[in-house]
Structure 1
């Protein structure tokens, strides 16, 4: 076997993956095209074989559908009891996941993996139950039909006309350790259906008319066979990669067609398409870009771009490689992709040209090994004559003038050296000039400089001087060697320059991809991402760019604000909509709607197209080459993934917020139900007494009942107000209306509102007169002090002192509310600010939202709040609010007041 040393990084990743799966159970899927092929039957037979081998096998759930043969195989195996779930008045029997985890067998059988569980169970789908069993180390045998695969859902619906609602992710099939295809010809399936071996008799007629038609069964069978073949092919590729197998394994044909800038490219592409169709093989169109192709005419580049687009339109995968040796790059790519056949054009050069310059076709034939090489003939006369190719002008006329100037400068320097140095040193000056011209101006000027250098050396430094005559025949050899050396050196210099240009282009493409990937990965939000995408594409392609995103009705709309960068024509919106609907590019440089003013490419995410990118270049020909288009497609793919990631993140955040809202609603209902009923019961009872016993109550009793109603109504009002404030804070609906306030006024206003509730306590305030003004929302900040004072009164004994302090230090003002109550339990200084936290020593009820509201309001002002125990007993609640450096003056405030 032709093998090389495996890639250690790939091998290490493989070992790590296997190590992570070692503690998990094995998943075996019995895969079929449709119901009735015998998947459950085969699974039960395999289970009996494992049972005879001593394995602990248990049936978790098996659907026999009343088939006697299947029911007979169930006997002899342990069956776990089903879990009963009541749903809409019906009693459902579902798979008991917890019972399976508690039983913990070695192998468990779970039929119909795509089944949807009844509401109320841990997982929505049965395949999720299977994943949990696998993670617990339990092996799972299960059954899946091809129509249940998520990726084939639309295909099956188009074939059968039936939309399958229960699906399994393709990752389940990819994760399986073993997939066994259970296949049965369509005629046998129909016969089993008629014999009642698939469904009970009353369902047979309906099934035959709607799903079990012979055409549907044939199509589903082909899908199942192809999906299984793809899995086997993936396993083979993994094995070849892990074992570094470079020899082609012709298990399935893969055709590679080699194209270049010659006119025969379309003919080769069509021949490859016909061969691939006949062999039912995938095919790839490959072009190798070598350094000398950089300076080729625009006509040749357009021809190559047309050939690559033709290959893509005919269904080929296209690839552009870079390198110095064409045959070597093609064969390396062919071995990586397990290519079995290579199609290449027949060389049109004569034998002596191939002997001198080499032949790609000859190298492919001699080095291809097990790969078949098909040589296709080209059009007559498509080869370019050697003389025309050699003397084809590769640069503008002014550049050739620089070549002449370089030779003149070298001649002047050599003339100055002539009396003191030999001929060999003078020749070096000309060679330096040739190298400089080759590096700066390319092949054509360097060839001209080589010939002019020989001529100038002959005229000025070989006797007889100032003529082309040569007195010594030995100088002919000198001229020949000088010309050959100059041409070789110029060729090497040009090649190095071309390689540097090619490396620079690759580096620029890599830098562009990296810059866009970095920006898209570090930013969030659809508007921000679209602006970044437009900016990058506009800078890279020197174009007007717009991003269209689809709305809920699948209509694409240009993003707001991008009309500044894109001259939008309403007629072009139809092109964008067509691209989105058909998931194909259109516009400039394509065969679809080529009259459009821009190139439109779909933004394709994992779930399908989500929008369209429009690029309108200043030079329409700049997007006719394949390289810029491929770079553009790569950038568009990055944009699509970033937009999809943002959309999924927003959906996840929205789902999280909905879950949090639901959780909070449930928590509020469970927490405040008692606190709401207590004051309502008191109010209702006191009001009933007043109504029923009105004539028999004296004035003092009526007054006491009225006070009780007022007290409980006030308590209920505070409770509801706290709930509403908390809901507003959670929803972010609080809007601050900041104004300048003296700290002592805010404290005084809070004490005035709590005068009745603080009558059993002594309140001491310390507010220096020189405190700076604070920029706060007076109403909200007053509520903070009210909640803190109420909390102090609630937890401190009657007659104790509640102290309120205010002071300024640095760039913030601090306020403190301290009491002499029991203090805070150790370790709960932080959790008291959590929602629904209530202390155990409170003298009256509450829902535990007061301090939470305080924290929300203080943090909204940019401050912080915390609590700690006091020396000598009691608790202290402190908060800080940042001060604004520019304080208003009293004179300025008075000046703003205008007399009426």
Structure 2
């Protein structure tokens, strides 16, 4: 683990913040949970203490109380005159801000931070007055109750059923230099209220029956205590980030996991301690290069110990590195561990070993953390089971070893012939051993190279040469030092290689998590998330993954991996017996299957991913016979499962939010529709009933009857068109309309629309302008005819009779364009932007009794968009409006239709 060092930029920022704070005044808040707890009394006492210490103290404003013991504390303090303000014939006494700034004391007392100032003063709120005092470098003492903090207003209102209108921003409480909690028992506060020490008799009775109930006061007290505790906790965390020392304000117990037979006893002791201290509990396993090569019995014991830790509520974590004490100490420092529990097995005393090993190293590396050693009191001496690996002889490594030694020997001969000393030749051989250790695997070849190097040096370069004998007895020391140097060099090189392997493992697993996070972030659907999860889990575990989607506590879908070979494997495991286990997992929200205590005979391990309440998916990790998930992989697996769970839950919540918004929009649409229909149907219905009643009850002449019948007909046609638009809008909104498109002549579409349009079209000069008689478009005829009818009705509504209305059609590229032109009043730019919106009606109506509900053109837009076209509006020249839309062009050739799009 890397050493955690403070960020220099953070230090610089803190220094600058401190400089700014030094220039400003300091705010001290006397904080309570209700009136009468003694805030003002405590503030005045603190003011007297400050005055005795030589501080220039002034009382800026103290709320006039009927509490003699509080008001008596004003004696001996300089009181700033209050400011008189006339408000609606009443003279109010307020805090004189300008007087305080002119007096500029070192410390000023201003009661009631949340107070609202009278109208006409510089600031609406007293906290703004205090801000100005602080900016002027004046220290301020003030008082406030918990119910006046902005973020707590709703919570307190739900408790007391009183909405406090005078509130302060949270930043005043958070940024105050000091907050002193003034606290008394609620029972004592109620007694003070009964004795009339807080309010007069009438006010006291009213307060006791409302705000000052025992339950309310207890709840308010809890909230105020929690707010102060949270503030202290934030301050501690900030100080920790800038402090080199490690300290803890809450308990966090760490137990070290191993394959030792006594480790289970250590874990149980740690669990008891965690429960006694109400502490967080973590079990840490340090994975080394040798962890992969443990014996079967040790691996089994490690899994048992890990399982015990999980059952006892420990959070299992894994770190990587060969220096176990260092990893334990660094993890403890970074994770805020307060106590480390470690086991120590009894061993035979050694002449050369007097230390406890790991224990002493941890104490040395983390002296500020309590270390508890649980000794093994069994009579048996437990020894670590090292695995004696079958040494695999590598021909390639042997060739490299002898090749490097040959080169070193030849180079030594070269130096010897040039007259270099023996020390230089020894260095060449040590360098050769270093190269051998670097280019081969394991300690074996480095050790062999070291031994052979000493023998070669003796045989080739010491007298008598070409013999293993030597005349000079000092060569014994030379040989020993040379062998030791070569072996140490070889050992250090191998350790560096091992550390590189550990770093590679850490980097690989970090990359797996990062890649999984990125891939899951890119997924746009639940299916994408599940297939991404399968791919990433398989990449990490190299085991088949099956994911069961859950809906209403039942399996709704089964996702196999996309790889064909894996699909064949997965099919063997998707059987009724295994599905029954999945069903059990869904209902019980617990893991089951292989490597668990529940249905361990299953072919896979089944892991539920639980959302807010229910299981979202069940992940099956297929395990072949005698196959398992390594304990070292479990922590990373848990991290990946958390990522997957978060991604699925996020997607589910987003979909729920979209559905809720859609439902709200539908409800809004229905409400607007009902409101519009109920309002706008009255006029035509009243007209129809009135005209019919007149015909029935009066003997009109033929012309009058014809006029009334004509009005009835016009109103009924308007109602028919309205109902048709309503039905179409409803179907489009529900997504139930299926377009039935086919090539159609545009001329036929226009003629069909003209025959069904309002008969008032006869009062206009209707012109049809076709660029080509054989223009064809791919359309749903019924819907496009309705579009044209709506646009023509709109033109009739806003255009004077006797004027021109033109329908023209032409082609442009692969599009057919149809436009309706009138020379009416035109449409303003503001209205052009929203003319196609639902329920929009123009204020420029000529006064037609049937003003419409704003569905016609909105429906046109929906229909044209469904056809893949566009609808638009612009002003006609010299006056009037042009509404047009585009459709897909169809060309006719000898082989049939050709769709230009």
Cα root mean square deviation, aligned: 5.3
TM-score (norm 1): 0.71
Q: Which residue of 1 aligns with 2:869?
A: 863
Partner residue of 1:600 out of 601, 606, 614 = 606
Compared with structure 1, are the counterparts of its residues 112 and 870 closer, same or farther at alpha carbon in structure 2 (3 Å cutoff)? closer
Secondary structure of 1:262's aligned partner:
coil
Corresponding residue number in structure 2 for 1:206: none
Residues 255 and 282 in structure 1, CA contact (< 8 A), matched pair in contact too: yes
Counterpart contact for 1:438–1:491, Cα < 8 Å: no
Shift of 1:873: 0.9
Tell me what 1:314 maps to. Answer: 312
5 Å matches for 1:481-560? 481-552=481-552, 555-557=553-555, 559-560=557-558
Distance in 1 separating the partners of 2:16 and 2:617: 40
**Closer, same or farther: CA 671–239 of 1 in aligned 2, 3 Å:** same
1:836, distance to aligned residue in structure 2 (A):
1.9
Q: Does the 8 Å CA contact 1:820/1:875 hold for their aligned counterparts?
A: yes
2:577 is aligned to 571
Distance in 2, matches of 1:660 and 1:857, equals 20
CA–CA separation in structure 1 for the residues paired with 2:397 and 2:42: 85
- Counterpart check, 1:649 vs 2:654: yes
Q: Distance in 1 between matches of 2:597 and 2:41?
A: 60
Matches within 5 A, 1:758-797: 758-769=761-772, 773-797=776-800
Match of 2:264 in 1: 266
Residue 756 of structure 1: aligned partner: 759
User: Equivalents in 2 of 1:725, 1:128: separation in Å?
Assistant: 49
Query: In the alignment, which of 821, 825, 829 is matched to residue 832 of structure 2?
Result: 829
Give the structure 1 partner of residue 747 of structure 2.
744
- Cα offset, 1:738, TM superposition: 2.2
Contact map agreement 1:50 1:57 (CA 8 A) in 2 = no
1:820 is displaced (CA, Å) by 0.9
Match among 681, 686, 691 for residue 681 of structure 1:
686
**1:108-157 Cα deviation digits (max 9, x unpaired):** 7869999999xxxx9996799979975767999xxxxxxxxxxxxxxxxx
1:732 maps onto 2:730 in alignment? no
What is the DSSP-based 3-state SS (H/G/I as helix, E as strand, rest coil) of the residue aligned with 2:825? Answer: coil
Instruction: Write out per-residue CA displacement over residues 1-37 of structure 1, whole angstroms, 9 at most, x where no aligned residue.
Output: xxx9965677899999999xx9xx999998xxxxxxx
Aligned residue pairs: how many? 766
The verdict on how the C-alpha distance between 1:322 and 1:560 changes in structure 2, with shifts beyond 3 A counting, is closer
Structure 2 match to 1:63: none
Q: State the match for 1:817 in structure 2.
A: 820
2:401 pairs with 1:407:
yes
Equivalent residue in structure 1 for 2:641, among 636, 641, 660: 636
Alignment match, 1:346 = 344
Shift of 1:823: 1.1
User: Secondary structure at the residue paired with 2:493?
Assistant: helix
Contact 1:264 1:345 in 2 (8 A): yes
Q: Which runs of 5+ in 2 are unaligned?
A: 46-58, 65-115, 128-143, 195-204, 206-214, 417-421, 562-566
In the TM superposition, what whole-angstrom CA distance separates every residue of 1:391-436 from its partner, at most 9, and x where no partner exists? x644652x44443333333355567668645486698478547635
* CA drift at 1:363: 2.3
Q: Distance in 1 between matches of 2:168 and 2:577?
A: 56
- Give the direction of change, closer, same or farther, for the CA distance of 1:128–1:821 in structure 2 (3 Å limit): farther
Distance 2:309 2:162 in 1: 45
- For the 8 Å contact 2:401–2:445, the answer to whether it is kept is no
Following superposition of structure 1 onto structure 2, how do residues 191-230 of structure 1 map, counting pairs within 5 Å?
Answer: none
Alpha-carbon distance in 1 for matches of 2:471, 2:146: 101
Deviation at 1:441, TM superposition (A): 1.9
Describe the SS at the equivalent of 1:802: strand
Other-structure match for 2:716: 713
Unaligned ranges ≥5, structure 1: 31-38, 59-98, 141-171, 193-198, 200-210, 212-216, 895-900
Q: 1:784 offset after TM fit, Å?
A: 2.0
The structural deviation recorded for 1:715 is 0.4
Structure 2 residue corresponding to 1:872, chosen from 874, 878, 886: 878
Pair 1:246-2:251 in alignment: no
- Name the counterpart of 1:372: 370
CA displacement at 1:676 relative to structure 2: 0.5
| CA deviations over 1:485-531 (Å, ceiling 9, x no partner) | 43333323322222222222222222222222223223333333223
1:161 is matched with: none
Could you tell me whether the CA contact under 8 Å between 2:412 and 2:428 is conserved in 1? no
Mapped partners of 1:407, 1:666: distance in 2: 87
Q: Secondary structure at the match of 2:759?
A: coil
TM-score (norm 2): 0.71
CA contact (8 A) 1:410 1:429 kept: no
3-state SS, counterpart of residue 830 of structure 2: coil
8 A contact 1:294–1:498 mirrored in 2: no
Look up the SS of the partner of 1:758 in the other structure.
helix
Distance 2:705 2:495 in 1: 109
CA contact (8 A) 2:34 2:145 kept: no
Asked if the contact 1:304–1:625 (Cα under 8 Å) also holds between the matched residues in 2, the reply is no
Residue number in structure 2 paired with 1:625: 630
Aligned residue number for residue 851 of structure 1: 857
Q: Which secondary structure state, in structure 2, belongs to the residue aligned with residue 639 of structure 1?
A: helix
Greater gyration radius: 2
SS at match of 2:860: helix
Q: CA deviation at 1:740?
A: 2.0
Partner Cα distance (1:56, 1:721) in 2: 73
- Relative to structure 1, is the Cα distance of residues 127 and 883 closer, same or farther in structure 2, using a 3 angstrom cutoff? farther
Closer, same or farther: CA 349–788 of 1 in aligned 2, 3 Å: farther
Q: Is the 8 A contact 2:816 2:887 kept in 1?
A: yes
Instruction: Return the alpha-carbon distance in structure 1 between the equivalents of residues 717 and 383 of structure 2.
Output: 100
State the distance in 2 between where 1:883 and 1:367 align: 80
Does residue 275 of the first structure (1) align with residue 273 of the second (2)?
A: yes
Give distance in 1, aligned partners of 2:707 and 2:156. 57
- Would you say the 8 A contact 2:526–2:648 is kept in 1? yes
Q: Distance in 2 between matches of 1:860 and 1:42?
A: 69
- Structure-2 residue corresponding to 1:80: none
Q: 1:611 to 1:869 in 2, by over 3 A?
A: closer
- Contact preservation (8 Å) 2:430, 2:482: no
Task: State the partner residue of 1:670.
Answer: 675
Matched residues in 2 for 1:627 and 1:732: separation?
52
399-408 or 429-438, which moves further after superposition? 429-438
CA shift at 1:680, angstroms?
Answer: 0.9
> Conserved in 1, the CA contact under 8 Å of 2:434 and 2:493?
no
1:447 aligns to what SS in structure 2? Answer: helix
User: Structure 2 vs 1, CA of residues 253 and 595 (structure 1 numbering), >3 Å: closer, same or farther?
Assistant: same
Could you say what secondary structure the match of 1:832 adopts?
coil
- 1:286-329 CA-to-partner distances (Å, cap 9, x unmatched) read 23345565655565455444323322221223333334644344
Q: 1:131 to 1:613 in 2, by over 3 A?
A: farther
Question: d(CA) in 2 for partners of 1:105 and 1:257?
Answer: 54
